[in-house]
Chain A
Amino acid sequence: MDCGTCESASPVVVETPAVVNVELTITENAHSMLDQAFGDDRSMALLVGVLSGGCSGYMYDLQIVEDTEIDCQELSISGFRILVPNSSSHLLNGIEIDYEDRLMGGGFKINNPNAQSSCGCGESFA
């Protein structure tokens, strides 16, 4: 493992899933929470992404960002800028962003028709 060839070895070739034009919806509860979070400044965006990991293999990742270097598609929904990474678009098309107001386990929830299963806390899906 010191021949100098390993570092230049070509990456494993994989077929990446096709980019999908994402459609998503936001519930009234989520809308009012985003209203509170963004205030009047609608220049910020909600980045809705997916990371690997969690109990089921994928984890949702919600961030409020000004911009991102990730290759994203930008949606405008109810006056909010929503960014969805193209690499995760096949996993996020058709989702509904909801907000559950509960003392335990509350917060933003994603209802995802693409998920075959999800873990107990709802943050992870397969």
Chain B
Amino acid sequence: MAFDNAQALIFTGSDVEKFLDGLSSNKVEINHDEVIDTLVLDNKAKIIAQMHIFKLNNMYISVTIADDFNGMIDYLNSKVLSQDVTISNVTNLNHIDIVYNEGKSHDKMKRFSKITQIGINNLYTVEIYSKQLDRLELDGDEKSFTEWRIDNIIPWYGYEISGSVNPYQCGLNYQVHENKGCFTGQEILTRMRTRKKGIYRLVCRANSDSPTSIASTEGNERSLYLERI
């Protein structure tokens, strides 16, 4: 499926890893062929962007999803200061597709010919390839992807995830590293965790069991719900 609301960003410079780690909810220590799923949060812990970061040659590449992409770029640039970090947007040079439901192993970054594949949380794959190549044949549409997403309990932008919620309010708990130390938004998330307040989990229920009017993602037979823990 075409992943039209994702952006491909390249970060270069000697301070990139430190820069991304300081702004990330997850630890950014990228080994060879690894993909790090992380979030950039504001100081109230609201989600600015979701990033899937991997390393290619001397570049750090992020498949990035954000409510307000230009605002996110401004935010990142305001944090560069005297650090050796340059950000380039190469979205217009690349196709970005989601491959799902194919029973593949999706846990790492792989390169096949001219296609780079990154595995997201061992559930699905994002393929990135040059727009100089014809777009690969795409299976599935948003509707079938949504049904698959409900079955696999995956939160998504425009449904569970938005700029007005924090990771604990939309089922992205696993993208918050609890022991990494300071990152933007960390104090609020730690307080929520220690007081066990305001934390939600994403659950899948049959439509016959719960009113779909309160579902975060509505499917044909089953839907996703955010449920307070």
Q: A interface vs B, CB < 8 Å?
A: 1-3, 5-7, 9-12, 14, 16-17, 49-59, 70-71, 85, 87-88, 117, 119-120, 123-124, 126
Contacts and interface: CB of A to CB of B under 8 A. Distances in A.
Given A14-B73, A53-B183, A9 B88 contact: yes
Interface residues of B, number: 45
Contacts of A14: 73-74, 77
B186 interface: yes
B56 interface: yes
A122 B130 CA distance: 46
B111 A2 contact: yes
Given A2-B111, A12-B73, A53-B182, A59 B93 contact: no
Describe A's contact surface by its main secondary structure: loop
B118 to A, nearest CB: 10
B21 A85 contact: no
Contacts, number: 115
Nearest to B77: A14
A100 B82 CA distance: 28
A57 B43 CA distance: 6
Given A12-B73, A59-B182, A52 B80 contact: yes
A101 B19 CA distance: 31
A119 B128 contact: no
22 contacts: A1-B61, A1-B94, A1-B115, A1-B116, A2-B111, A5-B132, A6-B59, A7-B57, A9-B88, A9-B89, A12-B77, A12-B87, A14-B77, A17-B78, A52-B81, A53-B23, A53-B79, A55-B183, A57-B43, A58-B79, A87-B82, A119-B182
